[in-house]
Each structure stands twice: as structure tokens, then as C-alpha cells.
Amino acid sequence: MTRAIRDILAECMRRERYGLIRPLWSDLAGVDDAAAEEVRRRADHLMRILSDAGVQLVQTGEPAPVAAPTSPTIVANQVYAQPDTMREVRVEERGFSIVAVKAGQSTIEQAFTLNDVIVNAGLVLTGDPAAKAIKDLGKQLAAAVEIYRLNAAGMGGGK
């Protein structure tokens, strides 16, 4: 069964924004058509913008191989009230890191694996007082959310 490009693009846009969430697109499109149609309208708009730039989406029928990342940076955000500082989540050989980049100088704030995050999240969920002693745990948990949202969990060496 061939799906419309607008539907495929809408599903991809939803996944890019929220990660792989429930209801899955196939379930959403059949249950909450209003919510699915809202994302389809955004997809239509993006296709018009692409078309204005001379880009057309063409369905080939077969998924392309997953492209290799071109950068170790998964996500980068401006640090609040520090216009010259960015905070990046990066893939490392043995996991992931949170890096502050100020005036072109990178400083690793912390390095972790997803196993570390799972253990630390368990401490938080169980109310273990040890969680309060983990420096910048909130940053680590926020970084893990971005790693999963952007489907980058498999990129870290020390998963």
C-alpha cells in the first residue's frame, strides 16, 4: 500500500518534534483524525516552502539507508542569559557528553552512558536521597530526553 507523501512527511515531522511517541502515527491517523490532519496541514505547508525553493519530494517506494551522522553534536541550545555560551549534547566513544561551548572553547560538563541515566532516573523515581548528591542530574536527564527524542540512543558507544 502506497501512502501519500503528505502523510509520510506529517508522520516524520511529528516524530522529529516529539520522538517516537504513542499513539503511533498509524494509530493516531485512525483514531484522532483531527490531530493527524493538523500535522498533515503543517506537512503541506513545508512542502509548499520546499517547492518555493525548487525542492520536490518524490516517493521512491523503498526506504533509503540510514544516513551516517555528519557531526557528533546531537542537539545544541543557547544557555539562558549567556549569549556567548551554547550547551551541546554530543556522542562520545563511550557514551554521551554535555559540553559548554563559550567563545569557541569547549568544556565537557559531564559524560555518561544511557545505563548511567537509567540508574540515576531510578534513584529519582524512588525518592532515593542519593539522587540529590548527583551534580547536574537535571542536565543529564534532560540530555537523555533529547537523545531519545532525536532517535540518537544507538549512536553512543557505551549505551
Within this chain, do residues 150 and 86 fall inside the same structural domain, yes or no?
yes
Average pLDDT of the residues in 2-17: 88
Cα–Cα distance measured from residue 142 to residue 159, given in angstroms and rounded to the nearest whole number: 16
Within this chain, do residues 31 and 77 fall inside the same structural domain, yes or no?
no
DSSP state string for 14-38: HHHHH-S-SSPHHHHHHH-HHHHHH
Note the pLDDT tens digit of each residue in 105-141: 999 999 999 999 999 999 999 999 999 999 999 999 9
Note the pLDDT tens digit of each residue in 17-71: 887 788 888 888 777 888 889 999 999 999 999 999 999 998 887 777 766 667 8
pTM: 0.67
Within this chain, do residues 47 and 82 fall inside the same structural domain, yes or no?
no
Within this chain, do residues 89 and 126 fall inside the same structural domain, yes or no?
yes
State the residue range of the domain holding 104: 73-155
